[in-house]
Structure 1
Amino acid sequence: MDRTEDDMKLVGFFGIFKQSFKTVFSSKKIFAQITLAFILPLAIVFIVQMEISHHFFWKIDNNTLPYDSNDSHEATALDWLYYALFTIAYYALLTFFSVLSTAAVVFTIASIYTTREVVFRSVMKVIRKVWKRLLITFVFIYIAQFIYEVIGSIALAIPRVIFDYSSLGGVVVMLIILIFYVYGFLYLSVVCQLASVVAVLENIYGFNALKKGKDLTYGKKKVGMGIAFVLYGVLVCLIVVYLLLVEYGHEVYEFALVWRVVIGILCGILLLVLFLMFIVTQTVLYLVCKSYHQEAIDKLSLSTFLGAYTGETVVYPRPGAEIQLGSPQPPCEHV
């Protein structure tokens, strides 16, 4: 990153994407290693979940759709038990690799920002030191998302009782609710993404990281939501293409197996790039938000803080004091 702290606060929607791609291409080796080690398993878990859910839990998936009223495919109690166990295993693996990926990418970008040399060995050291507080932050993120999903489900269920979704009025009401739902989802996503970066680069985690992420969105909320909209839009398009051309390609388009395999591999590669860009853009957005709020990140202080992760120096903040990047640093004892 060749931008100064003052320049970062002027970076907008396109600038964040440009800076993200520039950062990745400037350090292709380390990002390739991180992608193969952590993001590839994350993508595999994501794809396997879609396949297993589609082939083994289609009864539950069909009956959980708001418009489905077909009782001929009622799932049994045993189906729900298997589905619950599978969901727990899926989220456990998803969280595990998400924590590893986030810690690795955030540390790498912060090191590049401070012109520190970063190697894969130092990335592994960082993961061992930050995974616990990042995991706690992810738990609070899941809680916030669960509460939002419950509220969204209730908001969709109430009009369904009052209106018939097959009528024009019901469709209009549903569209209005969906617009508000998507808006809230994008905003919550930005807050959660910033919170995960805060958990790595500051001595804040859990609920306090979410609060800090919310504070950082002020003034850059539209930019963050725009980035999230584009990335999630690409993700949805990839899923649709995968389902239409790979999963149902032999039924709908009569694609040969070789073409389905090729398209599936291309979708997998794009998914890897997309997952990487999710974390890279959220880290660059964090740096932009910090600069926008005049919490100028002193590169020397950040470099010292990152060095504590890799064992170059041990930093002991005073009791009750936190290392807040961009804020006056408390006196520290170095060993």
Structure 2
Amino acid sequence: MRREISTTINNFHSYTHTRHFTCNNPTQTAMDRSEEDMKSLGFFGIFKQSFKTIFSWKKIFAQITLTLILPLTIVFLAHMEISHHLFLNIGTNSYLQVDPDYDDGRRTSATDWLYYALFKIAYFIFFIAFSLLSTAAVVFTIASIYTDREIIFRKVMKVVPKVWKRLFVTFASIIMTFFIYDVIGGIALAISRSIFGNSIVGVILLLIIAIIYILGFLYLSVVWQLATVVTVLENISGFKAMKKGKDLANGKKKVGMGIAFVLYGFLLGLIIVYELFVEYGGSFGLAWVWRVMLGILCGLLLLMLFLLFFVTQTVFYLVCKSHHREVIDKLSLSTFLEAYTGETVVYPTVGEEIQLGRPQPQGPQQV
């Protein structure tokens, strides 16, 4: 009987939710899709859904962007600027090892390396911190949109400090996985170079290793994106969240890897443009005014790209859930989100937050 009542309430909630959005505020229909609609979304559909979500809720995403993603972008660009201007002598010292005839009088001391190491550590701390905070804010916001909850920026910011510890555990697990993956790739490359050198076979084998490495990197990126959303919404973290992300990616790996390829491609393109025309633009005779304008443009595009990163990973999560026919009960999810913001004292047990992991019943349920 309890299950019947819960099912009836959920169906009524979904019906009133659809009626409310369709009749009263058509601009908020971005996340008002059925399970079958979400399941059928592909590469272009996920991007379209992400853009619709951002533009339908411009105010809240603008607040998140200015508060969390803008500092992330500034840290990212500042890292390139400081590395170029303050630690150029370290690069020069490395170049001297290759070409001893090149000498501009500068040498790298132990103090330079110490400052460089401290700078890198500070950069990673700030970059990781703002990445985790931005992830928590965007995932909570989209989950709130999905459950027809009132979205207030103050509530979003209340959630962030409650989630970042779990996100950090997941992030550390992912970094460890990527490190092991890089070590394996480096060993394979070293063995190839030592055996075949610069021969034709060696070059072909190098290309094969590079292709395999890129494909593996994209797949791990998909698992990473899903694991971070799982960490926020399913109360699990670390390698368990990664395993859940891997399971969710099954059946949608090509779509996820395609999205990751496009986003990372744009990121790499922006970095190249920034380095060539902003950092080294003076070498090409580019006036400083144009360099500043290009720097601002690259910063704005990078800002929007980071936001798109966080939104697409959450939309992709919802698509994967629908693909596996795992129930996302809006009433239970809403209760879970209320627990985050302190609106309720009812905390669901682990695995019961939003009925994740349960196959959606294909036929009528028996009580």
Aligned residue in 1 for 2:278? 246
Aligned residue in 1 for 2:158? 125
Residue type matched to 1:144 in 2?
A: T
Aligned residue in 2 for 1:229? 261
Q: Is contact 2:192–2:206 with CA below 8 Å preserved after alignment?
A: yes
Aligned residue in 2 for 1:333? none
Q: Is contact 2:75–2:123 with CA below 8 Å preserved after alignment?
A: yes
Alignment of 1:15-26 (within 5 A): 15-26=45-56
Report the Cα distance in structure 2 between the residues aligned to 1:176 and 1:60, rounded to whole angstroms. 33
Aligned residue in 1 for 2:18? none
Instruction: Please state whether the residue corresponding to 2:132 is helix, strand or coil.
Output: helix
% of aligned pairs identical?
67
Q: Structure 1 residues 163, 59: CA separation in 2 closer, same or farther (over 3 Å shift)? A: farther
- The aligned length equals 323
Alignment of 1:29-108 (within 5 A): 29-58=59-88, 69-70=98-99, 76-108=109-141
1:171 aligns with 2:199: no
Residue 139 of structure 1: CA displacement? 1.3
Post-superposition CA distance 1:265-286 (Å, at most 9, x none): 0000000000001110000000
Aligned residue in 1 for 2:34? 4
Residue 6 of structure 1: CA displacement? 2.3
Unaligned runs of 5+ in 2: 1-30, 359-367
Report the Cα distance in structure 1 between the residues aligned to 2:292 and 2:246, rounded to whole angstroms. 42
Residue type matched to 1:110 in 2?
A: A
Alignment of 1:159-308 (within 5 A): 159-165=192-198, 167-252=199-284, 254-308=285-339
Residue type matched to 2:144 in 1?
A: S
Structure having the higher Rg: 2
Q: Structure 1 residues 61, 163: CA separation in 2 closer, same or farther (over 3 Å shift)? A: farther
Report the Cα distance in structure 2 between the residues aligned to 1:239 and 1:198, rounded to whole angstroms. 30
Report the Cα distance in structure 1 between the residues aligned to 2:200 and 2:357, rounded to whole angstroms. 54
Instruction: Please state whether the residue corresponding to 2:328 is helix, strand or coil.
Output: coil
RMSD over aligned CA atoms reads: 2.1
Q: Is contact 1:30–1:120 with CA below 8 Å preserved after alignment?
A: yes
Residue type matched to 2:190 in 1?
A: A
Residue 49 of structure 1: CA displacement? 1.1
Q: Structure 1 residues 155, 78: CA separation in 2 closer, same or farther (over 3 Å shift)? A: farther
Q: Structure 1 residues 285, 315: CA separation in 2 closer, same or farther (over 3 Å shift)? A: same
Residue 321 of structure 1: CA displacement? 5.3
Report the Cα distance in structure 1 between the residues aligned to 2:321 and 2:155, rounded to whole angstroms. 25
Residue 75 of structure 1: CA displacement? 5.1
Q: Which of 316, 340, 345 is residue 314 of structure 1 equivalent to?
A: 345
Q: TM-score, normalised by structure 2?
A: 0.82
